Amino acid sequence: MAVEVKVPTLGESVTEATIGEWLKKPGDPVKLDEPIASLETDKVAVEVPAPVAGVMGAYKVEVGATVEVGAVIATIEDAQSAGETVQVAEREQPQPADQVPPAPAVAPAPATDDHADGGTTLSPAVRRAVLEHGVDPSAIKGTGKDGRLTKEDVLAAAKAKKDEPAPSVSQAAPAPTATGERREERVKMTRLRQTIARRLKGAQEEAALLTTFNDCDMTAVIEAREAYKDLFAKKHGIKLGFMSFFAKASCLALKDVPAVNAKIEGDEIVYHDYVDISVAVSAPNGLVVPVVRNVDALSFAEVEQAIASYGQKAKDGTLTMADMSGGTFTISNGGVFGSLMSTPIINPPQSAVLGLHRIEDRPVARNGQVVIRPMMYLALSYDHRIIDGREAVTALKIIKEAIEDPMRLLIDL
């Protein structure tokens, strides 16, 4: 008896998704709650779990198709009926004239090796790495829980493959002659990329965007990190990074300048007495902004732990809709990619975003002397409909002063 697999509830206000990838093939054994498909929504990738144990049946929709919540996308059958279905399907499958028809299929046995290719349960991040680097997952020994493959296992195998000696020149095939042909490739935008494009363009068209800049001497923060990084890591089990300093400094600014932490709804301004910071992180399918909530009430360690957790979930493709919803202010760190200066775009309905950039030694004047300091450019983009220039400049100045003198973070100045 076949059991229908339906699109699960995807989150508030999300009614449809796109089939991004099938994680199981027809005839593969399936365990209860094992992921069988990956759906792409406007914000995150969502895995569809198997409602029962059995054997993967037929697909009802193809990769790239748009499906609504509750739609049937596949079936799962018990092992006996699945074996009969596969045999019938293979008999009906047209065979090339020069090939001998294969022997009737036998119902597959339950998989015993979770990291072998075939009955594998690979996470979306691992599957993407396998496809990207062209390695055979069955030839890689997993180091994860129960011997499962991790992304690091795939990357290590790809590196080892790259380091293998190239075949001898005598055996190499002759290089094709350059014809001067110019090629183009068309790839359909993912649902996430379409949403990013639509939201950013909408922000430009609706908001009155303006950016104010300042530079920041990172000497004090760098010295604080160097002095306490070992004790911090030993006590909290997490590294002390720059983001927690900027998150807490932003809290000071947002409390003193409430408009920067507000939003427009219709003809009203909504002010928040809490600070939920969206932290822009890079994911395989594009930029995502999970939300660290109540940052004003968190410790440095709790901020760092939350950011690290979201960063790992973004790499693994396991962020949920709940992780992405809300947010009153955004911090985007382009410095990790080498950006010197930028004008970040706000994340609607938020009214401001702080852009961080790379740190570089530059000559600056201190007490009448030219000295070398580790400097960073800061950028605050804001919606001029709700935030005046004076407020934006004041907020950025508070952040700058808190970073240059971290004691302000302790005594709330």
Any idea which residues carry the catalytic annotation? 384, 388
Runs of H (alpha helix) within 237-383 = 242-256, 300-316, 321-324
Q: Residue 5: beta bridge partners?
A: 74
Task: Compute CA 251 distance to the chain's CA centroid, rounded to the nearest angstrom.
Answer: 25
Q: CA 403 to CA 221: how far, in whole Å?
A: 6
Q: At what angle do helices 219-236 and 389-404 cross, to 10 degrees?
A: 70
Which residues 6+ apart lie within 8 Å of 55 measured at CB?
27, 28, 29, 30, 76, 77, 78, 79, 82, 83, 107, 108
Q: Of the candidates 111, 113, 112, which has an alpha carbon nearest to the alpha carbon of residue 27?
A: 111
Q: How many CB atoms lie within 10 A of CB 184?
A: 4
Distance of alpha carbon 29 from alpha carbon 287, whole angstroms:
35
- Length of the chain in terms of residues written: 413
Find out whether the peptide bond into 348 is cis, omega within 30 degrees of 0.
no
Contact assessment for residue 303 and residue 245, using Cβ atoms and an 8 Å cutoff: no
In 63-174, which ranges are E strands? 66-68, 72-77
Residues contacting residue 404 through CB under 8 Å, at least 6 positions apart: 216, 217, 219, 220
Instruction: Specify the 3-state DSSP secondary structure of 280.
Output: strand
As a whole number of Å, the end-to-end CA separation of the chain is 68
Please say whether the beta carbons of 257 and 394 come within 8 A. yes
